[in-house]
Every structure is written in structure tokens, then in C-alpha cells.
Structure 1
Amino acid sequence: MEKYFKRKPVMPPFLEKDENEIGEQASGETFTKNEFSNWKKPKRLQERIGGPNSAHNKAMGLTFCGHNEYDNSSNQGNYILTLRFLADHNEDIKRVTLKNAPRNNLLIALSIQKDLVRVCSIEITNVIIRDVGDALFSILIDESRDASTKEQMVVALRYADKNGYVFERFIGFKHVTCTTTISLKEALDQLFSKYGLSISRLHRQGYDGASNMQGEFNGLRTLIMNKNECAYYIHCFVHQLQLAIVAMAKKHDQINSFFNVIANVINVDGPLCKR
């Protein structure tokens, strides 16, 4: 255990940056040392967070848990590395974390990391739902299998805030037992019920061209429009673009040959238990 705490702190990959090339990166003491209270002013908050290359934004989307978080691991994961880095550069954090924390309250267990991710997810989703408020909104839905072959439905909301700005916000995955229309509708109803969304405020729905999604008689769009006639269906523009690109690519012999090779590789490699 002592070796665990004697390791030299390693800077997380997303924080590795030459001090002379900070660019749009905000100060590292933005929220840890300097007080910030202007939460109602997005522009001020953006100045604090920094631009696309800031450490705050680079941290978004990274996994917390490492494959092996033991002391002899060459990659303990972003959570441990970030905690060590912060403790090494901030005395307030250092006094209550890692070797200075009670042995039964280190807050580095995998279950703790998952709880933190879950809490962040809940808080962010709640902010999105409050931002939607009583306004009309649209839904964007797609479904696919994850790495464990479980079917999942992805749901995003598109809405305009009080200032008239249009946003698209991802609100969650919903595992479904199958991809039938009834199963997808039940999953969507559960999601609406969970977040207090009303189908009466739904005025647009966008999917791809799959029959279970946009079928005229038994598709998901039809079941929704039976409840709300104003929830017009729009074929996903990104999917339309994909179809157009595929059609154009097939007319080009070299591109067509390239994708045929890729398809053959996937067909051979995909069924293997170890990809």
C-alpha cells in the first residue's frame, strides 16, 4: 500500500500541454481556487471553462476507470491519474485525498467511480430537462447493438431555449428487449415518464428509413402520431446524406472496390469471439 502512494504523479494525457501554448485553455484554478458565482451568465462561464482545447473540454468523453489500477500498472486510468495530478498541484485537494484521506474513504474504488459518473449523468440530464421546460420539442431516435450485442435505443431532444437558440441534447440510452415497434414505443414512454416529458408537447420526430421506425401503418412514428397528430415525421437528414454518399460511391469503381474489401474484412473478422 505504501508503494501505491509513493509513485510520482503522472500528468493525465488530456492535461499534457506546453505552458507556452495554452491558447484558449482556461486557468487550472478556475473552480478549485478562484471563486465563480456567475452561473446564470453563459458567456462568463465559457470564459472560465475555456475553448475546445481547454483541459476541461478535453476531459469530456474520457473513461474514468482503468483496465488495471494497481500500483504496478502502466495505465491506471484517467480518474486515478487526474486525482494524483490535482493533489500534486492543489494543497486543498491534497490535504483530503489519497494518502491523506482515511483508509476507508479513499474514494478511488471502481464502484465510487461509477457512482460519480452516474451522478454527473443525472445532474446533466436534469439541467437539460429544466432547460426544455414547457417548450415544444422534437425527438431524434436511433437504435443499434452495443459491444455486448444488447439492443439499445438512443434518444436526443431538439428544442429552442428562451432566447430562441436551438439545441440538440442527448438524454440517454434505453435498452430494449427487441427492435419491434411496440418495444421501442414502450421504451420511449418509459423515458418520457421518467423525465416528466409530455407527448402533447412533441411536435417533430426524426428517424432513419427503417420500417419499424417510419412505417406508415405500424411504425413508431405512426404510434406517436396516433397520440399527437402534430408530431410530424422527418426523415433524418444525416441518414439521407449517407444514402446519397453511398449511391455516389457505388458509381466510382475504386471507391466501390475499397468498400467491398472493407465489407469482406468485417464479415471475416466480425463473427470471431475475440475481435
Structure 2
Amino acid sequence: MERFYKRKVPEPNSANNACNSCLDDINWEDEIKYDPGLRKQIDEYHPNLRERVRRKYLENGPCQPRTFAFPMTGSRREKKDGGYEAFVKNGWNGFHRKERLKLHVGDVGGSHYQAMKNVRETGKRDYLTRLNGSIDVARMLVKLGLPFRGHDESKESYNRGNFREFRDYTAEQNPSLRKAIGTKKSDNSLLVAPEIQRDIVKCFAKEVLHAILEEIGHDVFCLLVDESRDVSCKEQMAVVLRYVDKYGIVRERFVGLVHVTETTSAYLKSSIDALFAELKLSLKLVLVAIVRKHKGVSDFFTKISILLNVVGGSSKRRDLIRDINVKEMSKALGCGQLQTGTGLNQEQCLQRPGDTRWSSHYKTLKSLVGMFATIVKVLEIVEKDKNDWKIRDQASNLLEYFQSFDFVFYLHLMLTILTITNSLSLALQRKDQDIVNAMKCVKSTRLNLDELRREKWEKVLDEVSDFCDKYDIVKLEMEDTYIDPKKRRHKSGITNKHYYQVDCFNDVIDWILQELDNRFSETSSQLLICSSAFSPRDSFHDFNLENLMSLAKSYPSDFNSGNLRDLSHQLGLYTADVRDDGRFSNIQTIAELSQIMVETRKHLCYPLVYQLLKLVLVLPVATATVERCFSAKNVKTYLRNKIGDEYLSDSLICYVEKEEMKKVTNEAVVRRFMNMQGRRFDDD
């Protein structure tokens, strides 16, 4: 092969030879510059020389010139010229060392010190102006129970949420706030962040709680606790303190809301202990919840709830109810079945019952009886709707149930029971409860329920029969064998009369009577009856020394043997005194008696009597204020159902306790706000 392919010999003037020959001729000391700023770029060398040049750079090591005179900056120049050249002429670039700034400022009295002081005061003033603006906006929103946040809070949005919108409007009306906001370009420095909003609300709530606890002091109080769901279906425990203030007025103050995962007595007690530890400091009678133990009654109220969603779930169906109701009313007026007059034949609607107001169920069932024909016609129309299959199927099932004997029976049974207990419900939910009348109402309600069970079965059955005849609903013969609608092949072995009278009518009433006995036992009833001996009606006609002494013995920690002896003596003097005093002649309630005693300073003359009176006043019959807390549904709505537990509790405290909220000053909120999380004024 070599004879065919001869090896070529490189010519003597080739580039490679020229490059290799010139390597030895290069003066590397002059070629490789020590200063990187004076070096040639490696790419400028021939490719065969680049590796050699790179190695030369590595051999020289890092460049660290020692003889170069850098210009003076920062503290070096400040020592020379006092900082004038650095700050006024040439500028200063030592911002990463704040100690240099202090050196430049100098001692008290210097021009630089005064300039820095003015800057700090201006920054502090602007910060406080912005903070007070946020506090004013938060005060207004929390008082109205409105949400703070918006869906889109960007500057380009036309609806940035209530807080930012009201803040912008306030800035337009307040030149000082507008100027303070204009000095800051960063949105974070405007004190409008969600964390700032929550902290401001917390400060308001803490100030309200501080005022309440300060008002109670070391005096006696009663704890009211109620449990109910909110719109996000979370179990909440509301806590209210009932006490007598320094003016002798009974107060019920909402102090917190606690999320509970279970409602056992032990868990509720631990939650209350935790709340009391944080603050350093008898349940509501729910009739509908009791009767829901019966499966038929529970199904009845479940169907009522579905009905309210179906017929009242849209404005179109509500208008349909209104139109049909007007036609039925006009027809009845034409036939002479209704009378005309002022206040008669007003427009009716179905009222949605509330979990915390068991009297509201009475209004719901009462309106359902009056509008039954209208409701049936609306369900028939909705049943034919082909657009919404879910609502259509619900309407079909409701229509079948509402035209059954079971529905009519439970409707009249519960309406009769709720009619009897409605007066008691209203009496127990009054804020200014009269213990004497409340106990009389409990007693009369129990007697009426007992009479209903013993003597009114036939009357209720006749009402059910008349309702079935009026609306063509199939009636049941009471002597026939009872057939369970869900188990039609199963023979029950009992008659319809036995099922509806014994298993339904009697059982439901027995459960209610048992609940009344549990809530108002003989011991608690006797305690309340003894309390009624304080009643000032008819010149203290009900005054009874034995009952009041018996009441005092129920509080051994407040009245020892020596105090009981002194109390007996004071009660005699007290009775003779107030009966002869004309200022006590026209009062009717124990609450009024307490206020007059403070006004006339007799609470100082008879301290043991007044102490016993306060113990009577803090005895609640029902948790009225707790129920009103959950009636404030605009604080946590379906559109605002992700609000946190702590934030919800703070918002509710501010919303419910508007009287105390009004007394909280901006200065107090600013002081508490600045102490949170180690904050400082934004003066950088």
C-alpha cells in the first residue's frame, strides 16, 4: 500500500510550524498582563496558543493589587470632612453599614442630627396616619359585619373589596391620609394587607374583652354556653358572661367563640377551661332537637327543609307562590270565605326556621297550613320542569309526601305542641327575664302539655281528618293494621291508632315533658322560687325571709355561718327601709330593684343583701344573648364561609358588643397593635 500512497512531508513554511516556532519567541512576561482589565481576551489568540495562555494565567494566580489608591468613601471620608462631601456633593455608598450613618449624624444639636430627627418624625407621623386610616375603616366594617377582602384587589380592579374601597374613599376625603399614602410607592407599606386587617380586628376584640373583664372585676358572674352550627357546618360553642355591673344593671356579654369537634360534656368543659385560661378568668332548651328523636318527626322536618329549598330557592318560584296565593285569596274573598279589613289578608310567605330560635319553627308550620294549597300547586308546576332534573325529582317526592296522612298528622301534632310552647319560648328568649313569670310559664306549659297527652288526642285527630277532607288526602282507619310505608310486606301487629297515639303522640309529648323536668328540676325550680322572694311588686308583697335565707345557704362560699347571721339581720332592716321609701314603690322587677339600690346607695348600707340579689340576677333561665350571637349571620355568610375560627370570634365580639366597641379609642388600638409581633414604626 505504501507504494501507492506516499506520505506527504509538511512544507517548511506551513502555519503550524510557524505557530510552533513562534511559541519560543513570545515574551510571556510582557504578553500576560497581571491586571485582568489590561489582558487580551483568550479568544484573540491563535487556537493553538489558547491553552498555553490559560495555563500562564493560572500560574500567576489571583490579581490583588496592593499599590492602587482607591477613592475614599463612607466613614474614611466622613472622618476627613465631617460627611459634607459624601452626602452633599459626591454621594455616599455605605448603606450596608448603618453605624456609618450614626457617625455621620453626630451628636445632639448638630444639623445632621436635626435633619435625621425631622425625617424620623415625618416617617412616624405618616405611619400613624396610615395606621389610623386602616383602623377607622376596620371599625366601620366590623361594626356592620361586612367582609374585608375582595376577589380581585389589584390596582386595575374596579371592585377591590370593602376594605380597600373604603380606604381609598377615606383617603379622598382626608388630605392628611391622602398625602401619607402618596409618599409610599410600595403597596405593602399602606397597612392594607390581610394580616394587618386581622390584627386590627384582634386589637379591637382584645380591648372589648379587657373592658368587659375589668367591669366584672372579682365580682360574681354566670357562664352561658350554647352550641350551634355555622354556615360552613362547623360546630361552634358561643360563650357569654352574665353579671351585674357597677350601676346594678344586668349585663350579658359575648366573650368568645370556640370551634369544637365534639359536643360531649367533657370536651365542652375542656374548651371552656381553655377559653377561661386565655381570658384569665345551663344550656339552651331546644324543643325541636328533642322531638327529632322520633324518626317520623325527624323525616317531617327534613322534608320541610327540602321544601323551603325547592319552593324558595329562586326568585322565580317565590314570585310563583305570590301570584298563586293572590289568586286563591281573591277567589276566597269572592266566595265570602274571607273578611276584608285593615291588617287582614296580608301577603304570606314561608319562613325558614332557625336552629337557635325554636319559636321560628312554629311560624314556619303555621304559614305552611295557611298556604298548603299554594305550595301543592307550586310543586306540581316544578315537577313538570324539564330543565332542572334535580329540583324536579325533589318536587315529585315532596308532592307525594305532602299528600300523605303521615305528613298531615305530624304537621298538626307539631303545630299543636309548638303553639303550647311558643309563649314559653318567647319568655325564655327575653333579655330582661322575669324569673317569677318565667317559672309560672314553665309550670303552665307543663300542665298544658300534660292535658294534651291525657285529653286532646281525639281533638288533634279530628283536626287531621278535617284537613284531609279539605284537600282530598286519603285518611287512615284507626282500627286497621298499621303498615309501615318502607316495609309494606312486614306485618306490624299493631293498629293505626296504637302507632299514631302511643308510638307517636304520647312518645313525643313524653320526651318534651322529660326535657322540661330535666331543665327545670325540682332543685333548680326551688332555687328560682326562692329567688322570687326578692320581687318588689306590691310593696314587696312576696318578701319571704325563710326563702331568702334558704337561697343564701345554697352559696356556702359566699355566705358562711357568720355572714348568714348578719344577712338575717340586714334583711329585716332592708325590708322595712325599702317599704317606707317612695323611690321603691313603682318598680316591678328584680333588675329594676338592683338599679334603684345602687342609685339610692342602699347597696352600701346592706352589702350582704345586695350580694345575694346579684347572685339571683346572674341566674339565667335561657341563653338569650348566645342565640342572638348566632342570629348575626351576616358576619359569616355562605360567601364568606372560609373565615378562620380566631378571626370569626374576634369579628363576632366586635359585632355583638357594639356598645363596648364604640368606647374603644384609636390610641388604644394603636398601642396594642404596636406591641404585637414586635412591630416598630415604618421610618426606614
TM-score tier, shorter chain, comes to: 0.5 to 0.7
**Displacement of 1:240 after TM fit?**
5.9
Query: Within 5 Å, which residues of 2 pair with 1:174-253?
Result: 174-197=258-281, 205-209=282-286, 239=357, 241-242=359-360, 245=363, 252-253=369-370
1:100 aligns with 2:177: no
Whether the aligned pair in 2 keeps the contact of 1:174 and 1:187 (CA below 8 Å) is yes
Change (3 A) 1:256 1:181: farther
Whether the aligned pair in 2 keeps the contact of 1:159 and 1:168 (CA below 8 Å) is yes
Whether the aligned pair in 2 keeps the contact of 1:139 and 1:157 (CA below 8 Å) is yes
Q: Measure the CA separation in 1 of the matches of 2:199 and 2:169.
A: 21
Change (3 A) 1:160 1:67: farther
**Displacement of 1:190 after TM fit?**
1.1
Task: Choose the corresponding residue for 2:371, options 234, 254, 267.
Answer: 254
Provide structure 1 residue ranges, at least 5 long, that are not aligned to the other structure: 1-31, 33-54, 198-204, 213-237, 269-273
Query: Within 5 Å, which residues of 2 pair with 1:76-225?
Result: 76-97=160-181, 99-101=182-184, 103=186, 104-197=188-281, 205-209=282-286
Whether the aligned pair in 2 keeps the contact of 1:155 and 1:170 (CA below 8 Å) is yes
The aligned amino acid for 2:184 is A
Task: Tell me the SS of whatever aligns to 2:180.
Answer: coil
**Displacement of 1:162 after TM fit?**
0.6
Change (3 A) 1:256 1:60: farther
**Displacement of 1:256 after TM fit?**
11
Counterpart residue number, 1:28: none
Which protein is richer in strand relative to its size? Answer: 1
**Displacement of 1:195 after TM fit?**
0.9
The aligned amino acid for 1:77 is G
Counterpart residue number, 2:334: none
The aligned amino acid for 1:209 is V
Whether the aligned pair in 1 keeps the contact of 2:141 and 2:147 (CA below 8 Å) is no
User: C-alpha offsets along residues 191-248 of structure 1, whole Å, 9 cap, x if unaligned?
Assistant: 1221122xxxxxxx442338x9xxxxxxxxxxxxxxxxxxxxxxxxx85644655675
**Displacement of 1:91 after TM fit?**
2.1
Task: Tell me the SS of whatever aligns to 2:197.
Answer: helix
Task: Tell me the SS of whatever aligns to 1:95.
Answer: helix
Change (3 A) 1:161 1:83: same
Task: Tell me the SS of whatever aligns to 1:101.
Answer: coil
1:69 aligns with 2:192: no
Whether the aligned pair in 2 keeps the contact of 1:128 and 1:169 (CA below 8 Å) is yes
Q: Which stretch of the first structure deviates more once superposed, 240-249 or 176-185?
A: 240-249
Query: Within 5 Å, which residues of 2 pair with 1:48-63?
Result: 59-63=143-147
Which protein is richer in helix relative to its size? Answer: 2
Task: Tell me the SS of whatever aligns to 1:178.
Answer: coil
Task: Tell me the SS of whatever aligns to 2:189.
Answer: coil
Tell me the matched-pair count. Answer: 181
Change (3 A) 1:163 1:187: same
Give TM-score, length-normalised by structure 2.
0.23
Change (3 A) 1:59 1:176: closer
Whether the aligned pair in 2 keeps the contact of 1:141 and 1:206 (CA below 8 Å) is yes
The aligned amino acid for 1:93 is L
- Identity of aligned pairs, percent? 34
Counterpart residue number, 2:460: none
Task: Tell me the SS of whatever aligns to 2:227.
Answer: strand
Q: Measure the CA separation in 2 of the matches of 1:182 and 1:249.
A: 40
**Displacement of 1:186 after TM fit?**
0.9
Q: Measure the CA separation in 1 of the matches of 2:142 and 2:373.
A: 36
**Displacement of 1:168 after TM fit?**
2.3
Q: Measure the CA separation in 2 of the matches of 1:139 and 1:243.
A: 27
Q: Measure the CA separation in 2 of the matches of 1:239 and 1:83.
A: 37
**Displacement of 1:63 after TM fit?**
1.9
Change (3 A) 1:183 1:58: closer
The aligned amino acid for 2:205 is S
Q: Measure the CA separation in 2 of the matches of 1:89 and 1:76.
A: 18
**Displacement of 1:181 after TM fit?**
1.6
Provide structure 2 residue ranges, at least 5 long, that are not aligned to the other structure: 1-128, 130-138, 290-355, 380-389, 395-638, 642-684
**Displacement of 1:158 after TM fit?**
2.4
Q: Measure the CA separation in 2 of the matches of 1:118 and 1:150.
A: 21
Change (3 A) 1:257 1:129: farther
Q: Measure the CA separation in 1 of the matches of 2:223 and 2:207.
A: 20
The aligned amino acid for 1:101 is K
Task: Tell me the SS of whatever aligns to 2:272.
Answer: helix
**Displacement of 1:146 after TM fit?**
3.1
How large is the RMSD of aligned CA atoms in angstroms? 4.0
**Displacement of 1:115 after TM fit?**
1.8
Q: Measure the CA separation in 1 of the matches of 2:199 and 2:141.
A: 21
User: C-alpha offsets along residues 7-26 of structure 1, whole Å, 9 cap, x if unaligned?
Assistant: xxxxxxxxxxxxxxxxxxxx
